[in-house]
Structure 1
């Protein structure tokens, strides 16, 4: 997939950072952080481009991927405030508390075009799924919500699995029942979120397809 991005090189003290955003906003894609259930809802374009952003994040260990979603067209389904999304490799060591300062410094971005490798993403997603079948498996997407932003900290295989889950939702979401009437359809999820100690309801982010109006123009494939 070809992705058009906006690249920033902000500095905080002696430290330089690389941050990328989609070049064009995902107007019809929104995210609500899990409390304990969250939702990621989007049309085909938004879910497809998000899959590409997760795939790019999987192989960019030194890059912060920022997807602004708070300014999206609010869906007429779901509850809770909209949040932005940040994807970071666990090894980068970014703390969520540092993000507001970094976000404030995102100025004068430059165009960047990248291509993702869907075959490699699929292979790494399969490795993640195989790893989950072993005894002693652990959930591998650490997450937190801070400053109106949902953060996911993971590794290559975990982000690759999320990319494939979003690609599945983008491809099969338009085929679900009632989507031509504007109803959201639950298609997949972001799996492998690390669970808090003590049990209780599992933390989940459900991925839903939702066409945008006017629905008379939408046709299922």
Structure 2
């Protein structure tokens, strides 16, 4: 899978940060605060792109992956959010994002070669300790400056990219076969002990979008 990107670098004090963005942000995607979860609404192309970016976050522990998604929620009309994926070893505080974002220039183009389309199957559960309460390798989810931050380990991102791939591969067929119930979704939630902080992420396939 070839993923066109834009690479940005900026300094905050003595530290330099690398920010990766998709060269073409998804046109039909929205992220917003829902009642129970953070809601990500995506069409097929956006879901596949996010699966690829999720996998990229797993292989880029020294970078912040920024996905511009901020648009009005097409369902509720509420405000939207951007998305940042980052490795916990960066120890980057979300409160510094607004300043870092303001210092990003136009960036330079690059193409990432990812190992094939993200699988639509859950990763084999070789990590049984994540089901235990004392497991500490979990996502930290924060919202700051109009942005959702998902902070986790390389293994967390690698093991959860399939959620978006599943929606990309299954969503369109499901809504076509069920015209009276056009809702296909999956959820990264607290029930599987994937989150240390935050409400989780509800990913919904949406094939009908208002005209821009």
Change (3 A) 1:180 1:60: same
Alignment of 1:2-13 (within 5 A): 2-13=2-13
1:92 aligned partner? 90
Distance 2:29 2:118 in 1: 26
Q: Does 1:110 align with 2:97?
A: no
User: What's the offset of the Cα at 1:17?
Assistant: 0.8
Q: What RMSD, in angstroms, separates the aligned Cα atoms of the two structures?
A: 2.9
Distance 1:120 1:181 in 2: 27
Whichever structure has more strand as a proportion of its residues is: 2
Distance 2:59 2:119 in 1: 9
User: What's the offset of the Cα at 1:211?
Assistant: 1.0
User: What's the offset of the Cα at 1:21?
Assistant: 0.5
Unaligned runs of 5+ in 2: none
Change (3 A) 1:144 1:190: same
Question: Post-superposition, which runs of at least 4 consecutive aligned residues in structure 1 deviate over 4 A?
Answer: 118-124, 178-184
Aligned residues, how many? 206
Alignment of 1:1-221 (within 5 A): 1-33=1-33, 36-71=36-71, 74-78=72-76, 80-118=78-116, 125-127=123-125, 130-133=128-131, 136-138=134-136, 140-177=138-175, 185-191=183-189, 192-195=194-197, 203-212=199-208
Change (3 A) 1:12 1:136: closer
